[in-house]
Amino acid sequence: MMEFKEYEKLLACVHCGLCLPFCPTYRIFGREQDSPRGRLYMIRSYAEGRIDMDEEFDEHINLCLVCRACESACPSNVKFGLIMEEARNLLEKNYKRGLKTKLYNWLIYREIWPNPSRLRFTFKLMRLLQRLMLDKIAKKVKLLDAFPGKPSRFLDMVPIIPDKFFNSGIFEPLGERRYKVGFLSGCIMGTLLSPINEATVRVLRANDCEVIVPDDQVCCGALNSHSGYLDTAKEMAKRNIDAFLKYDLDAIIVNSAGCGATMKEYKEILRDDEAYKDKAKDFSSKVKDLSEFLAQIPLNNNFGELKLRVTMQDPCHLIHGQKISIEPRKLLSMIPGIELEEMPFSDRCCGSAGNYFITHYDTSMQILDEKISYLKLTKAQAVIASNPPCYIQLKYGVKRSGLKMDVLHIAEVLDRAYKLGGVYQI
Ligand code: SF4
Ligand code: SF4
């Protein structure tokens, strides 16, 4: 037997196969190894010492989007996400990769992502490239293609980087304080999508929240744990626990589905850490998605009329990772003028899956094309996608398909309706 911490969880799979039709990679490739059941079987075979972590193992394990649609479908409650994190962690430690890939992974997951100032510097550099239009040249000459995944293709997907990034601070409520909440700034939300963070804070303040954005917080660690850097993710989790728990908070609000799902699982990944296991439990119990929090409080309903026909994309880490789908719909139903038209398979992955659109570009685009075909069946003027990778991916999909549809985060919709209602002017 090999050491595999989540071994007991593997045994819950009874091989019924009910998850197979819900798995995007199984639908595309039709191979057992690219299904949840096949992947679990491979991981169990490794854990029992019957196979090695070889090239084939690496291929099938990394082709998974960790969308967790299989978790929602599974009658045995197999915790696929946690099992996959452990498998990728061991893969990264045991499987010999080329020097270039090793260096690239180390740089991204160990040196840049856990360090907010280096991360911001990287995005500032990208902003400069954008402003000088050098990103177009970099794409043309395939400057970044020396790196794994040929990231030059990704340059087209990067949104126009805002002039101002989102900063930490303490934001007073507009009315009398009813709640004291923390807010995760996030790696992508705080930089590439900073206007959404500004909108989120305005919406929370309009609901009598004092919003605390600690300056010593870091990225949630989702990208690191999904990419096999579980030890780094644990360090990041501890830093966030220390950053937030020093305030006496009613809730820790997250407006990114992927981050929320990860932070709700800090209690799992730190369960063997004597110094942090209780703090992690406390932290995770306070984490709330923005829509989850707003749907459970008496909401400020001074919305103006917002005439907009929308459809919903349920981000995988919201619907499968956190079982949240009713809450954003409830909020939309409270805004006068909003018409919700459901699209088929709104709970299917859009193909972004963290950095999957870089590491598995072709498969990601295939999944995106399917999503765009469902969006085309609606008459929506906007699709709501409240998770940064989905938001960016759908913007790209809409642009490249020529579809006339906006992509919005739920915070932007609420913010617009509050402005129309005269709650604030900004
Ligand atoms: S997480 Fe998603 S891609 Fe991975 S096995 Fe489950 S359903 Fe398939
Ligand atoms: S993961 Fe769940 S649904 Fe899929 S084969 Fe195993 S028990 Fe069945």
**What tokens does 146 get?**
């020396």
Helix (H, G, I), strand (E, B) or coil at 330: helix
Question: Would you tell me how many other CB atoms lie within 10 Å of the CB of residue 216?
Answer: 12
What distance in angstroms lies between residue 124's CA and the mean position of ligand 2's atoms? 44
Report which ligand 1 atom has the smallest distance to the Cα of 26.
8
Ligand 2 close to Cβ of residue 43 (< 6 A): no
* 301 SS3 class: coil
Q: Long-range CB contacts (< 8 A, 24+ apart) of 351-355? A: 351/24, 351/65, 351/393, 352/389, 352/390, 352/392, 352/393, 353/65, 353/66, 353/67, 353/316, 353/389, 354/66, 354/222, 354/223, 354/226, 354/227, 354/258, 354/389, 355/149, 355/223, 355/227, 355/389
Give, for 384, the enclosing helix (H) or strand (E).
strand 382-384
Any ligand 2 atom below 6 A from CB of 18: yes
- Cβ contact 321:398 at 8 Å: no
138, amino acid identity: A
Three-class secondary structure of residue 300 per DSSP: coil
Phi, psi of 42 (to 5 degrees): -65, -45
Q: List, by residue range, all CATH 1.20.1050 domains of the chain.
A: 169-295
Burial (CB count <10 Å: 0-12, 13-18, 19+), residue 316: buried
pLDDT score recorded for residue 44: 96
Spell out the per-residue pLDDT of the chain, length 426, in tens.
778 888 999 999 999 999 999 999 999 999 999 999 999 999 999 999 999 999 999 999 999 999 999 999 999 999 999 999 999 999 988 888 888 888 888 898 999 999 999 999 999 998 998 898 877 777 777 766 766 667 677 778 888 999 999 999 999 999 999 999 999 999 999 999 999 999 999 999 999 999 999 999 999 999 999 888 999 999 999 999 999 999 999 999 999 999 999 999 999 999 999 999 999 999 999 999 999 999 999 999 999 999 999 999 999 999 999 999 999 999 999 999 999 999 999 999 999 998 898 889 999 999 999 999 999 999 999 999 999 999 999 999 999 999 999 999 999 999 999 999 999 987
Instruction: State in Å: Cα 31 to ligand 2 middle.
Output: 15
Question: Residue 299: which of 179, 182, 426 has the closest Cα?
Answer: 179
According to CATH, where is 3.40.50 located in the chain?
Answer: 308-420
Query: For residue 417, what are its two tokens?
Result: 């309706």
- Distance between Cα 75 and ligand 2 center (Å): 7
Q: Could you tell me which of 126, 101, 193, 174 has the C-alpha nearest to residue 394?
A: 193
User: Which-ligand-closest: CA of 23?
Assistant: 1
Q: How many other CB atoms sit within 10 Å of the CB of residue 310?
A: 22
Quick one: CATH architecture of 169-295? Answer: Up-down Bundle (1.20)
Protein residue closest via CA to atom 7 of ligand 1: 23
Q: SS3 of 69, please?
A: helix
| Predicted local confidence at residue 180, as pLDDT | 98
Residue nearest to atom 4 of ligand 2 (CA): 19
Q: Which ligand is nearest to the CA of 69?
A: 1
Binding site membership of 17 for ligand 2 (Cβ less than 6 Å)? yes
Domain 308-420 falls in which CATH fold? Rossmann fold (3.40.50)
Residue 39's Cα: distance from chain center in Å?
Answer: 22
Per-residue pLDDT at 27: 97
* 23 in contact with ligand 1, CB cutoff 6 A: yes
CA distance 161 to 155: 12
Gap from CA of 349 to ligand 1 centroid (Å): 10
Q: What's the token pair of residue 57?
A: 């193992």
Instruction: Delimit the CATH 1.10.1060.10 region(s) of the chain.
Output: 7-94
Residue nearest to atom 2 of ligand 1 (CA): 67
Q: What is the pLDDT of residue 136?
A: 77
> What is the pLDDT at residue 405?
97
Q: Is 68 in the pocket of ligand 1 (CB under 6 A)?
A: yes
CATH 1.10.10.10 fits 7-94, yes or no: no
Amino acid at 112: I
Picking from 385, 359, 418, the residue whose alpha carbon sits closest to that of residue 159 is 385
Return the SS3 of 87: helix
Question: What's the rounded Cα separation, in Å, for the pair 12 and 71?
Answer: 12
